[in-house]
Amino acid sequence: MEDDIMLNEINWPHDYLPGFTDNFASNEVIVRGINAAETFANLIDTSIWPTYYSNVADVEFDNTEGTKLAPDTRFRFKTFGFPIEAEITEFETPHDGQPGRLAWHGWAEGNAEHRLDVIHAWLIENLSEGRVRILTQESQKGKPAAELHEDPKDPMNVGHQEWVRGLATAVLAAHQG
């Protein structure tokens, strides 16, 4: 049996190190019956995001054909009431026992009152006994991030938990379909 003691972590740029930014969200699920490769393939296909995550709309690509994220992709979408511009900063498919990694720098333009900068990162790894771990974390800077941090309804963690659960459910449903 494999040993799961050493779970992998997100690779953070120093400027976005959690604990030093204005807001941080961390969400994960561990599911059996799916694997990292198929989960990662579903995650990078933005055309299906709205089918399993209600807080995303209007995904458009700037420099890539199709609907799949790839290294250096520039794209935009709407989420949490913000129009987000984004660029892929990390892209590694799961392989040879290594986890899949996806991260983007996202930002909402604006002055000091309205500018939002984030790193949204995903880590998808196979675990022992046919399980997969889906982890997403987001570290945010700016006044809107600080306001989200103070919101007692915790919209970032609630929303992102819907995203990880929705992704897992979509991959599981593909097995049953």
pLDDT digits (tens, 9 = 90+) for 122-172: 999 999 999 999 999 999 999 999 999 999 999 999 999 999 999 999 999
Q: Average model confidence (pLDDT) for the chain? A: 94
Contacts of residues 74-83 at CB distance under 8 Å and 24 or more positions apart, as own/partner, are 75/46, 75/104, 77/46, 79/55, 79/159, 80/55, 80/148, 80/155, 80/156, 80/159, 82/108, 82/116, 82/144, 83/108
Does the pTM surpass 0.75? The reply is yes
pLDDT of 113 higher than 80 = yes
The fraction of the chain above a pLDDT of 70, given in percent, is 97
pLDDT of 12 higher than 80 = yes
Kindly give, in sequence order, each residue whose CB lies less than 8 Å from that of residue 143, ignoring residues fewer than 6 positions away: 22, 112, 113, 114, 115
Q: Where are the domains positioned within the chain?
A: 17-175
Burial class (CB in 10 A: 0-12, 13-18, 19+), 118: buried
Give the up-direction half-sphere exposure of residue 9: CA atoms within 13 A in the CB hemisphere: 7
Q: What are the counts of helices (DSSP H) followed by strands (DSSP E) for the chain?
A: 4, 7
Tell me the CATH architecture of domain 17-175: 2-Layer Sandwich (3.30)
Mean pLDDT across 31-41: 96
Mean pLDDT across 103-114: 93
Mean pLDDT across 7-34: 96
pLDDT at residue 1, rounded to an integer: 40
Give residue 177's pLDDT band: very low, low, confident or very high (50, 70, 90): low
